Structure 1
Amino acid sequence: MRVLVVTSQFPIRDEPTRGRPIVQTVQPLARLATVRVVSPIAVYPRWAQPGSYVAHAPGAPDGLDGDVEYPCYPTLPGVARPLNGWLCARAIGDALARFRPDVVLSYWLYPDAYGAMLAARRAGVPLVAGARGSDIRVRDAISRRLTGYVVRAAGRLLVVSQDLGRLAVQRYGADPARVRVISNGCDAATFHLADRAAARRALGVAEDARLVLYVGRLVPEKGLRELFAAVGQLAARRPGLQLALVGAGPMRDELDALAAGRGNVRMAGPLAPEAVAQWMAAADVVTLPSYSEGHPNVLVEALACGRPVVASDVGGIPEVVDAASGVLIRPRDVADLAHGLELALARRWDEAALCTRFSRDWTCVAEETLAQCAEVLAEARRKAGAGKARLTEPA
C-alpha cells in the first residue's frame, strides 16, 4: 500500500523534536507500507508574523530518516484563515500527483487535513484524518466550521483518546462508526526505569534536590506561567526544590527572563529522546499543567520511567493518570498546582509498578493505523466497483 502522510507537525531544522509522536508512528509505518511525508509550512510576511509564530527554515533536521518534503505556502494571520486549507491543498498537490498514493493519511485537522481532503478528492483517493488534541478543540468559528468538514468527510477519524472521540461526535457531528481510538505508544528501549543518582550526576543535579520536570513545547497553553508561579510558592517551603524545562517554543525568551531571577530553574532546551529519558530518570515528578490535551505522550513516557506525574484534569489526561500514578489538578489554578506538586513530592511512589503501566509500542500503533487505511481503501474500492456496475447495467 502507498500512503501519503500530510502533516505540518513534523520535525524541521529549527524544531528537531517537533511532532515526535507522529514521527514515531510514521517510522514503523514505513516498514509496513510505502510511505512518503509531505509537511506543508505556512509562511507569513515579516511584517505580519503572529506573536506566537516562530520563523522556520524549511527542511529536515539532521538524522531524520525517511522521504520528507516541505512545501511552503504564503498566508496572512487571521484574514487568510479561511483560505489556508485551500492554500495547503495547492502546496501538497504536486507531491500527491508524483507519488500516486492509495490512501492519504493526514494529521492536524485544519488546515493540513482540510487541504489533504481537497487534494485527495481531486485525485480520487480516500482520506484518513488524525486528530491530536488542540486541532479539534479550536476556538474560532471559522476553523471550527472547516474542521467539521474534515471530521465528517474522512473515511476514518483517528483520535488518541476516548475524550477526543466523544468531542468529534458531539461537537462536529462525526459518524461514530468512522471514529477509531489509537492511543500513543512508548519506546521502552529509551523510556524505562533507570538509576536516579546516576542521572543526576550526569546532569549536574544535586543528589538531595527535589526536581520537578516539564517536557513539551514552550507555549502559554501548557500552563507554564502557572508552573513558574506554583514553584515559586513551593520554593519558600522547600528550599531544595528545582524546576527543569525541556523543550522549545515562542515562550523561550519570556521563560529565560523568569528563570534568570531564580537559582532553582534549568532551561535545558529541545533534546533528543535519550536525553529526555535521562532528565526523567533524574526527576522526582514530571508535570504537565496544560489547559487542554489529547493523549499526552510525555506522561506515558514519564510513567514508563517510573516517575509520578502532576497534570491537569483535562482531555485525555485522566485516561493516562489516576490516583496510583499521579495527581490531577485544576487547569489555570496556581494554588492547586502547587498543592498537587507538594502532594506528589511528599508521597513514596512504587516506581516498579509505575513503569509497567504502559507496554504498547509504536509498531502496534503503526499496525493499527495501517489497518484503518486498508479498511478505508477497501471501502472506496467497493464503492467504485458498485458505481461501475450500476453504469454497465442494462436499461
Structure 2
Amino acid sequence: MTQAMARPLPFSTQEARILIISDAAPHRNGVGAYYADLIEDLDGTVEAIERISPEIVGDQWQGGWSMPMPGDRTQKLCVPNAFEMQKALREFQPTVVVIPTPGLFGLCGAITARQQGIPVIVGFHTWFEKLAGLYWNRVQGGLTKVYFEWVHKALFRLADRVLVNSEDMIAIARRLGAESVGLMGTPISQSLLQRPVQGGTRQLRSVLFVGRLAAEKNLPAIVQAAIACPQLTFTLAGDGPERDWLDRETAGLSNVRVLGWVEREQITDLIDAHDALVLPSQVESFGTVAMEAMARQRLVVVTQACGIANWTDLAAGLAVIDSGDQLADALQEASALSEFELYARSVSARRAVDAHIEWNRQQWLVCTRLAMSRPSDPTLMTRLLRTVRKSS
C-alpha cells in the first residue's frame, strides 16, 4: 500500500472546528496516543480542535462512572454523562465530530452529533472482534464479538466517512456496513519529530519494546530472542495483563529489563537510548511506536501482522518478518550488517516518516472538508433502524 504524494490543498480548512469524542484516555493506548498527536498535528491548520474523553489524573480515571475492562484491568470502561456531552457540543459548536472508539463515549458522541446535525467521521483503528479470542473464553468472546459488531455497524451507519489504517480494514469496514471508506495514515508527536536525532543505528547492541503487555503483542517471542541473543540487552516498557507472566519468565535473564508503565514523554529518551525497536505482534492495527522509532533513525523489526508493514513507503525502512518466531534470527542478521548499511537504512526511514505524516495531515483535512460540505442528514432513527435490520 503506497500513499500518493501530498499536494497543496485547493481549499482552506481554517473554518473547521473538529471535536474528537473517544473512550481512550490520552496516551493510555495506541488510539489515545493517535488522537493526542493528531490534535497537535492539525493545530493551526483548522480553527479549533479539541477532545472529549476520559482522563487519568494521577492513577485515577476521570470522566464518568468507570469499571475495569474485562480481560485487562489496566484499562477502564467509562460511562459518559450524556447531558454533559450534549452541552459540550453546543458550546464548542463543532463542524465535524470524530469518533475513534466503539465504546459508550463513541456511541453516545455519534448519536448526539447526529441529533444536532453535525457530520461524523469514524476512525476504525482496531478490529476488536479479532482480539476477543485472545482475552476471553468462548462465551465471553462470543458476547464480545456480538457487541462490537453491532456497535461498529451502528457507528458506520451514523458516519459520513469511515477512515481505516490498512487495506484489510477497508474490507472489514465495508462488510460491517460502512458506505464511504478511506485510508488514514498516522501522526506522531511534533516534539519527537523536532527534537534533534541522537545519531542513528550503526551497531546493534540494545533492543527495545514499548507497548501494552498483552497477548496480541507476542511477548514470548521477545523472551525467546533474549535467550537466543545473550550478547544483546532487551528493555520492555509498558503494562498490561501479561505483566506477571513476563516478570516470571525474565526473572533469570540478566540481559532483560522490565520497566513497567512509562509516561509518553519518556518514550523518545528510551528510543534514543537503544539501537533497535521490535514489535513481534500477532495482531497490530498499525504500530505507531515503530514509526516513532523510524523517525528517531533506529532499526525497527516488525511482523507482517503489523499494519505498518502494509504501507510500502514505510516498509522500505523496516525489517519485516513473517512471525515472531523469526525475531531472534532477524536480530542476529541485523547484528552482522555493516555500520554503513544500518545507518543508511535509518536515514531513509526518517525520510519516509516525514512524507507519511504530511500525507496523513492532508488526508484528514480533505475528509474534514468533504464532511463539512456534505448536506447534513438528520434522520438519525432511519439510520439506526437500517442498522438494526441489517443486524437481524
Deviations 1:147-187 (A, max 9, x none): 12212431011222333223322x32322xx2121201344
Which of the residues 109, 129, 146 maps onto 1:116?
Answer: 109
Partner of 2:98: 105
SS at match of 1:5: strand
Confirm or deny: 8 A CA contact 1:223 1:290 kept in the other structure.
yes
**What residue identity is the alignment partner of 1:267?**
V
Identity over the aligned pairs, expressed in percent? 25
Deviation of the 1:379 alpha carbon: 0.8
Query: C-alpha separation between the residues in 2 aligned to 1:210 and 1:319?
Result: 28
Partner of 2:300: 309
**What residue identity is the alignment partner of 1:174?**
A
Partner of 1:2: 17
Query: C-alpha separation between the residues in 2 aligned to 1:167 and 1:18?
Result: 18
Partner of 2:120: 127
1:342 matched to 2:366? no
Deviation of the 1:77 alpha carbon: 5.0
Deviation of the 1:3 alpha carbon: 2.4
Which sits farther off after the overlay, 338-347 or 355-364?
355-364
Deviations 1:321-364 (A, max 9, x none): 77753332334x53x23223322333332233333222147576
**What residue identity is the alignment partner of 1:172?**
L
Distance 1:141 1:36, change over 3 A: same
Confirm or deny: 8 A CA contact 2:66 2:79 kept in the other structure.
no
**What residue identity is the alignment partner of 1:179?**
V
Distance 1:17 1:319, change over 3 A: closer
Which of the residues 11, 14, 23 maps onto 2:36?
Answer: 23
1:356 matched to 2:351? yes
SS at match of 1:226: helix
Where relative contact order (Cα < 8 A, 6+ residues apart) is larger, the structure is 2
SS at match of 2:249: helix
Query: C-alpha separation between the residues in 2 aligned to 1:134 and 1:101?
Result: 27
Deviations 1:119-140 (A, max 9, x none): 2222222211112234474641
Which of the residues 57, 60, 64 maps onto 1:57?
Answer: 60
Which of the residues 367, 374, 382 maps onto 1:372?
Answer: 367
Query: C-alpha separation between the residues in 2 aligned to 1:366 and 1:212?
Result: 31
Instruction: Name the TM-score, length of structure 1 as normaliser.
Output: 0.72
Query: C-alpha separation between the residues in 2 aligned to 1:98 and 1:229?
Result: 53
Confirm or deny: 8 A CA contact 2:120 2:159 kept in the other structure.
yes
Partner of 2:164: 159
Confirm or deny: 8 A CA contact 1:159 1:165 kept in the other structure.
yes
Query: C-alpha separation between the residues in 2 aligned to 1:340 and 1:249?
Result: 26
Query: C-alpha separation between the residues in 1 aligned to 2:321 and 2:248?
Result: 26
Distance 1:345 1:190, change over 3 A: farther
**What residue identity is the alignment partner of 1:158?**
L
Between Structure 1 and Structure 2, how many residues are aligned?
336
Confirm or deny: 8 A CA contact 1:120 1:126 kept in the other structure.
yes
Larger radius of gyration: 1
Confirm or deny: 8 A CA contact 1:40 1:92 kept in the other structure.
no
Confirm or deny: 8 A CA contact 2:100 2:125 kept in the other structure.
yes
Deviation of the 1:244 alpha carbon: 0.7
Which of the residues 164, 184, 187 maps onto 2:186?
Answer: 184
Distance 1:286 1:85, change over 3 A: closer
Instruction: Name the TM-score, length of structure 2 as normaliser.
Output: 0.72
Which runs of structure 2 are paired with 1:1-395 in the superposition (5 Å)?
A: 1-11=16-26, 15=28, 19-31=32-44, 32-40=46-54, 57-59=60-62, 70-72=63-65, 77=70, 92-135=85-128, 137=130, 139=132, 140-169=145-174, 171-175=175-179, 178-186=180-188, 187=190, 189-190=193-194, 193-195=197-199, 210-232=205-227, 234-235=228-229, 239-271=230-262, 275-320=266-311, 324-331=316-323, 333-334=324-325, 336-348=326-338, 349=342, 350=344, 351-360=346-355, 365-381=360-376
Query: C-alpha separation between the residues in 1 aligned to 2:83 and 2:67?
Result: 11
Deviation of the 1:262 alpha carbon: 1.8
Deviations 1:205-234 (A, max 9, x none): xx98721111122222111133213322x1
Confirm or deny: 8 A CA contact 2:26 2:35 kept in the other structure.
no
Confirm or deny: 8 A CA contact 2:65 2:80 kept in the other structure.
no
Deviations 1:248-283 (A, max 9, x none): 333334323433322111223444556423332332
Distance 1:27 1:317, change over 3 A: closer
Query: C-alpha separation between the residues in 2 aligned to 1:104 and 1:298?
Result: 26
Distance 1:92 1:257, change over 3 A: farther
Confirm or deny: 8 A CA contact 1:110 1:147 kept in the other structure.
no
Which sits farther off after the overlay, 282-291 or 128-137?
128-137
Distance 1:215 1:320, change over 3 A: farther
Query: C-alpha separation between the residues in 1 aligned to 2:24 and 2:79?
Result: 18
Confirm or deny: 8 A CA contact 1:246 1:271 kept in the other structure.
yes
Confirm or deny: 8 A CA contact 1:222 1:288 kept in the other structure.
yes
Query: C-alpha separation between the residues in 1 aligned to 2:203 and 2:50?
Result: 48
**What residue identity is the alignment partner of 1:378?**
S
Partner of 1:48: none
Deviation of the 1:313 alpha carbon: 0.8
SS at match of 1:356: helix
* Stretches of structure 2 lacking an aligned partner (at least 5 in a row): 1-15, 72-76, 133-144, 379-392
Query: C-alpha separation between the residues in 2 aligned to 1:358 and 1:76?
Result: 33
Query: C-alpha separation between the residues in 2 aligned to 1:16 and 1:326?
Result: 22
Distance 1:196 1:370, change over 3 A: closer
